[in-house]
Amino acid sequence: MQKKYIVLLLLLFPVCLCNCQSIIDTVSYRFVYDVQAKVFERSAKSSPDLHYLDIGKTGVSHYYSTWQRRRFEILDSLSRIGGSMQDYDRVRHEQGVEPSYFSYYVYKNYPQKGIQTIDYVSMEIFQYQEPMGQDWELVEGDTIILEHPCQKAVCHYHGKTWTAFYAMDIPISEGPWKLCGLPGLILRAYDSDGAFFFNCIGIRKDVKEQITMMNEKRMVMKPEQVHKLIELIDTNPDQYNASRGHYSKSTIIDKNGRERPFTLPKYAYYEFYSKE
């Protein structure tokens, strides 16, 4: 089927992040996670991604997709010189940058200890703050990850059930995405739906890079409001655009030349605030 998308460019390529950054800490440890995540709820397979958890000297942490970050950097560099989306595709393939569907930038213990700040990049940059941590239940089960003995724990968080394996010999109460609060670093975690799987594959010390936060304008609101808007963007971007004063019509043209509404399957989400 031949498809013709009449949508805003930002729907396909979210807002670019410029090089204007604020430094909030310096990286002491970097934990590298191989991530397997479903894009849509009924996907038969998962998509790979590569995520970093950077731990700062003052206790601030930053969790993000390296592929997403590099993707935005390429978009920003090309936009400064008037590059096209064809240029973007070419450069991305040349540099081996894979697509990422992880839109969270999670800053823990920021702006203060026990609080996390989330930048969620979609058609806009949304930001919200909330308390850190989950109410974990320590259960029987153990394994070894990267030569570190790990214990098992389970929690229910924002509408989903998560299982984690944490290393007590790495006494950092941190983990991938928003997961944290155990007496050791979470090296592996997955949800009960089989949609998301985080697995630590590397530990780096003395990285000496900076933890930064972009300076772009954000829509700051409560987490429940942000996720309600994200679901609206995913299911009905035209309605969201109209609410912001931008009118568009998303359609496809089938092989017979007929115009039909453009729809996507239901996305898989890391959390559901409506199911608390």
180-235 pLDDT, tens digit per residue, is 999 999 999 999 999 999 999 999 998 889 999 988 899 999 999 999 999 999 88
Instruction: Give 118-173 pLDDT, tens digit per residue.
Output: 999 988 899 999 999 999 999 999 999 999 999 999 999 999 999 999 999 999 99
3-state secondary structure of 8: coil
Tell if the pTM clears 0.95, that is, is over it.
Answer: no
d(CA 256, CA 259): 9
The domains found in the chain, sorted by start residue, are 9-220 (2.50.20), 223-275 (no CATH)
Residues 6+ away with beta carbon under 8 Å from 107: 24, 60, 61, 62, 116, 117, 118, 119, 211, 213
Question: How far, CA to CA in Å, does 1 sit from each of 62, 250, 252, 260?
Answer: 42, 16, 9, 12
Q: How far apart are CA 213 and CA 240, in angstroms?
A: 26
CB atoms within 10 A of CB 189: 23
In this structure, is the dihedral angle defined by the CA atoms of residues 266, 68, 89 and 123, taken in order, positive or negative?
Answer: positive
